Amino acid sequence: MFQRIWFIAVLILIFDTVCSVAQDTSGVLVPQVRFGKIEVDGMLDEKVWQVAPKANHFTQRELFIGQPVTERTEVAIVYDAENLYVGVWCYDSNAKGIRAKEYQRDFDESLDDNFILIFDTYHDKRNGFMFATNPNGARLDAQVFNNGSSVNRFWDGVWDVKTTVTGEGWFAEFVIPLYTLKYRMKIQVQDWGINFERNIRRKREQARWRGWKRDFNITHVNQAGVLKGLKSLINKQFVEIKPYAISGAQFEEDGNETVLNAGGDVNYLLSPNYRLNITVNTDFAQVESDQQQVNITRFPLFFPELRPFFLEGNDYFDMGYGGNRITPFYTRRIGLDENREAVPIIAGLRLLGKKNNRTLGLMSIQTAETETEAMTNYTVGSWRQDVGEQSVIGAMSVNKFSRGTWHTTTGVRGNYSTSKLFGSKNLNIGGAVVKSHNSDSGYISNAYAYRAFLTYLNDKCDIVITTQKSPAPFEPEVGLMRRRNFRENFAFFKFKPRPDPNGPLKWIRQFDFSPGAFTLTQYDDNFELQSFEYSVKFLGMETRSGETVGAEYRRKAEGLREDFYLTDSIVVQAGEYWWNEWRASFSTFNSRTLSASAFLSVGEFFEGNNTAFESSVQWRASKFLRVSARYQNNNIRLPEGELVTNLYGMRADYAINPNTFGSLIGQYSSTAEEFIFNFRLRWIPIIGADFYLIINQVYDSRNGKFNHDKSAVLGKLIWRIAL
């Protein structure tokens, strides 16, 4: 197994076609100690901004690598005992060409002009805090882990930014309280990693202060420069109390119910290294509805986690398996039953942090008893140790206590990472082994799963190789298994050349070819075929204007040990089936006022045929409104019968200002025969506090017309008290 992976690692050198580009790595920015008052208004007219040292040497990553940024860009850092202040000057020779139509919190940074900054507060070249804004003053923040291998965009820190737009360009002023960040203790003078990125959408230009090679993203904190000489940062114990109150009503066919509830969270900053979160009577009423899916496979669907409490610390509880074949810890098992209905959470606590090179995570959640679920405790612990410059080892244990029984899923992981292969290329080699155990069934020797992988993901060439196995007895009760009793080998190679920017194909930014992606999945107990897929992408490209085109061929197979019920009346008999499939896709640049995408698949399906079609369209009407629609269709014809599925979705995202925004979502699935309507309004009265208005409605269409099934109207206020 590992011999194959190392053999491929050697072969990577043959495919390495990227030319080396000299890069200045001496970037150092010295912050200015604040004097005088700073009014955070985006004007940058205080004297301290005029004298503060500035970072102003930005280099293009796109479209013309190595060239200076075409529009003057400057950044300065000022700090005091409580806050960091960041001043940004984004000059623009064509201020009317500035694109800015995003307004809400956690905006889509791929659509607008924007400025991104990242702090590596431990200066360990692994983890960081990312903040971004656009000319409208919209806010985006995220936590970065393991040198960009994991990015938690659901983290919401306490900070603010204001912007102004003039005939000279646009300008931003950030204020970030020090307690929002984690950093080293008891160091009189310390250095942080820091980097900046500016995106100019009308030019499709991306420029960075450091780390501008195309093999690296802004989240690769090991490419950052240095914020040098931060002095006497305070070690303040900080307590944040966030009580909530919720009121409203639920309406169902068998009666109505008044909703009145309260609870809250306590966040205690034990030190700049460790943070304790306590939650009581946890509520997730403000979470969006799941996006509906159509399942024409014999495997269960994967629904992503949407609840903030579980998203904010998700990297700490990752066993390193990747993908969704084997998920040893699936947080949607906590507080949700098999029908995705809420199970009350009585209380929980979570301790997260990093000290020196050790990262620790602990979470314990107690759920209440319901008609379908017993009272249950979930306790998860994780440990991760940094090794060398970028590598890591770790262990994790997921435990469930219910009805007097104990279940555990415990494993270890390791990952060797380097960004210095062949000078400056990214390579990851690693794996994980995990075992499950139930106290009422005794020890089972083959109740385990493993995964080993190699990834080489760079601008001109991608290679991924994995092998994994899960015998039938492996059963992670707090996990998700989309397949069981299987062993699988996967290999993927992609070649992404860039034409000469001055040649006849200069209108093409980058090609995207794949001579082969191979997946062989076998039943573990007898090595018979479970699934097979081989694909060739013979056309793939992105134009300089942002349009993409793709076409590929796939050879697929399924080995059925038992009959497959596509529907109650359409049954595919057990046996082995092989078929062919052709796919084509197209999309326009999504930053345009009107953009669209389409996907078409035509081919065989078991002993019949299937034509699958997907399309979406997006209208960015203004900074106040964005409207999108999507449609998915399957037209399956089998000897056993025909099945036509239709899935419709519409969404309107609106924003009155950066602190008042929301969405209106409508979804209809012909297979589920239901229409789901979800309205959300979020108002941020002060930074850190939220008010939500939520309206949910469900209609069924089983009788040929829409009948009201259930609905809810809820208001939820979350307040923030800092001590």
For the record, the structure tokens of 100 come out as 């800015």
In the predicted structure, residue 74 carries a pLDDT above the cut 80: yes
In the predicted structure, residue 25 carries a pLDDT above the cut 80: no
Q: Read off the pLDDT of each residue in 38-47 and give the average, rounded to a whole number.
A: 94
Report yes or no on 218 lying in a domain: yes
Q: Under 8 Å CB-to-CB from 503, ≥6 apart: which residues?
A: none
Report yes or no on 126 lying in a domain: yes
Q: Read off the pLDDT of each residue in 408-434 and give the average, rounded to a whole number.
A: 91
For the record, the structure tokens of 28 come out as 């150092």
In the predicted structure, residue 236 carries a pLDDT above the cut 70: no
599-633 residues labelled b (16+ CB within 10 A) or e (exposed):
bebebebbebebebebebebbbeebeebebbbebb
Asked if 60 and 198 touch (Cβ cutoff 8 Å), the reply is: no
The C-alpha atoms of residue 63 and residue 60 are separated, in whole angstroms, by: 7
For the record, the structure tokens of 467 come out as 């092998």
In order of 59, 119, 720, the CA distances from 225 in angstroms are 13, 10, 34
What is the predicted pLDDT for the residue at 26? 57
What is the predicted pLDDT for the residue at 572? 94
In the predicted structure, residue 577 carries a pLDDT above the cut 80: yes
Average pLDDT of every residue of the chain: 90
Report yes or no on 65 lying in a domain: yes
What is the predicted pLDDT for the residue at 701? 84
Report yes or no on 162 lying in a domain: yes
Q: Hey, is 376 helix, strand or coil?
A: strand
What is the predicted pLDDT for the residue at 5? 46
Beta strands (DSSP E) in 388-460 are 391-402, 405-421, 425-438, 448-457
Q: Read off the pLDDT of each residue in 170-197 and give the average, rounded to a whole number.
A: 91
As a 3-state breakdown, the chain gives helix, strand, coil percent values, each rounded to 5, of: 5, 55, 40
Q: Hey, is 297 helix, strand or coil?
A: coil
What is the predicted pLDDT for the residue at 8? 44
Residue from 88, 245, 273, 62 nearest 171 by CA: 88
Percent of the chain with pLDDT over 90: 71
Q: How many domains does the structure of the chain reveal?
A: 1
The C-alpha atoms of residue 80 and residue 120 are separated, in whole angstroms, by: 18
Task: Give the model's confidence band at 185: pLDDT under 50 very low, under 70 low, under 90 confident, else very high.
Answer: confident
CA 639 to chain centre: 41
Tokens 């279940």 correspond to 407
Phi, psi at residue 131, to the nearest 5°? -135, 145
Which amino acid appears at position 166 of this protein? T
Q: Under 8 Å CB-to-CB from 81, ≥6 apart: which residues?
A: 232, 234
Asked if 549 and 569 touch (Cβ cutoff 8 Å), the reply is: no
In the predicted structure, residue 272 carries a pLDDT above the cut 80: no
For the record, the structure tokens of 390 come out as 């970028």
What is the predicted pLDDT for the residue at 431? 94
pLDDT digits (tens, 9 = 90+) for 474-513: 999 999 998 999 999 999 999 999 999 888 999 999 999 9
Containing domain of residue 60, as a range? 31-231
Report yes or no on 134 lying in a domain: yes
In the predicted structure, residue 704 carries a pLDDT above the cut 80: no
Residue from 193, 244, 595, 130 nearest 389 by CA: 193
CA dihedral 222, 225, 229, 235 (to 10 degrees): -40
For the record, the structure tokens of 121 come out as 């507060």
Asked if 142 and 105 touch (Cβ cutoff 8 Å), the reply is: no
Phi, psi at residue 48, to the nearest 5°? -60, -30
Asked if 696 and 664 touch (Cβ cutoff 8 Å), the reply is: no
CA dihedral 484, 485, 487, 488 (to 10 degrees): -30
What is the predicted pLDDT for the residue at 631? 97
Say whether pTM exceeds 0.75.
yes
pLDDT digits (tens, 9 = 90+) for 623-675: 999 999 999 999 999 999 999 999 999 999 999 999 999 999 999 999 888 89
Residue from 493, 474, 496, 497 nearest 485 by CA: 474
pLDDT digits (tens, 9 = 90+) for 317-351: 888 787 778 899 999 899 988 877 889 999 999 99
Residue from 348, 326, 327, 344 nearest 336 by CA: 344
In the predicted structure, residue 172 carries a pLDDT above the cut 90: yes
Report yes or no on 104 lying in a domain: yes
- DSSP 8-state assignment for residue 332: G
In order of 138, 353, 559, the CA distances from 164 in angstroms are 12, 36, 61
Q: Read off the pLDDT of each residue in 456-460 and give the average, rounded to a whole number.
A: 92
What is the predicted pLDDT for the residue at 21? 33
Report yes or no on 519 lying in a domain: no
User: Counting runs of H as helices and runs of E as strands, what totals does the chain give?
Assistant: 3, 45
Q: Read off the pLDDT of each residue in 291-307 and give the average, rounded to a whole number.
A: 84
Beta strands (DSSP E) in 524-659 are 529-543, 548-560, 564-565, 571-572, 575-587, 594-605, 608-622, 625-638, 641-657
Report yes or no on 332 lying in a domain: no
- DSSP 8-state assignment for residue 31: P
Burial of 306 (0-12, 13-18, 19+ CB in 10 A): middle
For the record, the structure tokens of 92 come out as 């623009």
pLDDT digits (tens, 9 = 90+) for 48-68: 999 999 999 999 999 999 999
The domain spanning residue 139 has which CATH number?
2.60.40.1190
